[in-house]
């Protein structure tokens, strides 16, 4: 039997008392005390209404809403202009549709990939999230943008999870050192959206990170990838420790919701996401 540290034992004991934070809780897809939701990007092959129908059919009660379902296919200055001028009732309508289907839009994806950004552009993401009914943002961004995000997060009193990818280069949020740099000196509103598949592909262990830093992890993206920048693969076929991560969260960090993000190649996104959902559900209830 493997030995655990005194700190891990204490966390495990406390974990039984932890519940998902406000805005993440949903009885519909909570297993072993852990919210199991979906990143709507998993249904990027279909428009919003069909994506909502797919989530409802599978049984999800919580989601992170991707910009792919709420924003037009624009880039650069055109996307920035659209964000600043689109009526907020566009997001209110999407939130209403989700809640009518029994799905809580807990998080809005609002990526800020190419600095510099104005204060107005950053703030707009929080306004969109509030209109949607989300209680938090997730953002793929650059380290130099984080101070501006933090300033807005404090004004709006909303958490932001910085989403990691697997590419290691300056300004990216990828490695544990990058996480430390992003969080250093920032308020408690700035957290991490830990993509466990990308973390493994970049050469790091998400379970180790969770054990040391779970208090700064807002949510987890669940996918399976191979090491050494390897591909996305069906759950259980890669190097990502999905089972240990989910069981650790169940035992010691139930406040962290887990969002399935289907990215490997499959013929039918609904069928594949259902497989991912069943894979994770079995682990959480076993």
Q: What does the alpha-carbon distance between residue 197 and residue 222 come to, in Å, rounded to a whole number?
A: 7
Q: What does the alpha-carbon distance between residue 101 and residue 97 come to, in Å, rounded to a whole number?
A: 6
Burial class (CB in 10 A: 0-12, 13-18, 19+), 136: buried
pLDDT at 39: 98
Is 90 exceeded by the pLDDT of residue 25?
Answer: no
pLDDT at 27: 73
Is 50 exceeded by the pLDDT of residue 18?
Answer: no
Is 90 exceeded by the pLDDT of residue 221?
Answer: yes
pLDDT at 28: 85
Which residue matches tokens 């209403």?
A: 96
φ, ψ for residue 277 (rounded to 5)?
-60, -50
Strands 258-260 and 217-222, bridge-based pairing: parallel
Is residue 125 within 8 A of residue 110, CB to CB? The reply is yes
Is 80 exceeded by the pLDDT of residue 228?
Answer: yes
Q: What angle do CA 226, 229, 231 make, to 5 degrees?
A: 50
pTM: 0.91
Dihedral angle at the C-alpha atoms of 94, 95, 100, 103, nearest 10 degrees?
110
Q: What angle do CA 207, 17, 25 make, to 5 degrees?
A: 80
* 50-95 pLDDT, tens digit each: 999 999 999 999 999 999 999 999 999 999 999 999 999 999 999 9
Rounded to the nearest integer, the mean pLDDT of the chain is 92
- Please give the domain boundaries of the chain with CATH numbers for all domains: 6-285 (3.20.20.150)
**Beta bridge pairs of residue 222:** 260
pLDDT at 24: 60
* 162-213 pLDDT, tens digit each: 999 999 999 999 999 999 999 999 999 999 999 999 999 999 999 999 999 9
Q: What does the alpha-carbon distance between residue 52 and residue 63 come to, in Å, rounded to a whole number?
A: 10
Q: What does the alpha-carbon distance between residue 30 and residue 273 come to, in Å, rounded to a whole number?
A: 17
Is 60 exceeded by the pLDDT of residue 120?
Answer: yes
Is 50 exceeded by the pLDDT of residue 9?
Answer: no
pLDDT at 20: 44
pLDDT at 229: 98
Is 90 exceeded by the pLDDT of residue 43?
Answer: yes
Is residue 279 within 8 A of residue 235, CB to CB? The reply is yes
Is 50 exceeded by the pLDDT of residue 132?
Answer: yes
Q: What does the alpha-carbon distance between residue 15 and residue 33 come to, in Å, rounded to a whole number?
A: 10
| Mean pLDDT confidence for 243-254 | 97
């Amino acid at each position: 039997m493997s030995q655990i540290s005194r700190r891990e034992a204490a966390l495990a004991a406390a974990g039984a008392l932890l519940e998902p934070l406000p805005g993440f809780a949903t009885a519909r897809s909570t297993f072993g005390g852990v919210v199991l939701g979906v990143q709507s990007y998993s249904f990027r092959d279909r428009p919003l209404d069909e994506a909502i129908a797919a989530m409802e059919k599978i049984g999800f009660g919580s989601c992170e809403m991707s910009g792919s379902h709420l924003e037009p296919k624009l880039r650069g200055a055109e996307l920035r202009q659209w964000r600043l001028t689109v009526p907020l009732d566009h997001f209110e309508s999407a939130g209403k549709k989700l809640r009518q289907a029994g799905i809580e839009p807990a998080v809005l994806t609002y990526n800020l990939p190419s600095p510099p950004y104005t204060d107005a552009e950053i703030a707009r993401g929080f306004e969109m999230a509030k209109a949607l009914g989300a209680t938090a943002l997730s953002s793929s961004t650059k380290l130099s943008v984080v101070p501006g995000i933090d300033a807005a997060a404090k004004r709006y009193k909303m958490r932001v999870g910085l989403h990691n990818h697997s590419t290691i280069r300056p300004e990216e949020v990828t490695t544990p050192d990058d996480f430390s740099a992003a969080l250093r000196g920032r308020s408690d509103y700035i957290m991490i959206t830990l993509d466990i598949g990308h973390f493994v592909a970049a050469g790091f262990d998400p379970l180790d990170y969770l054990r040391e830093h779970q208090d700064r992890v807002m949510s987890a993206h669940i996918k399976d990838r191979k090491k050494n920048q390897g591909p996305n693969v069906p759950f259980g076929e890669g190097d990502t420790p999905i089972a240990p991560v989910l069981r650790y969260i169940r035992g010691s960090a139930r406040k962290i919701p887990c969002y399935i993000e289907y990215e490997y190649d499959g013929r039918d996104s609904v069928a594949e996401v259902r497989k991912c959902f069943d894979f994770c559900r079995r682990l959480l209830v076993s």
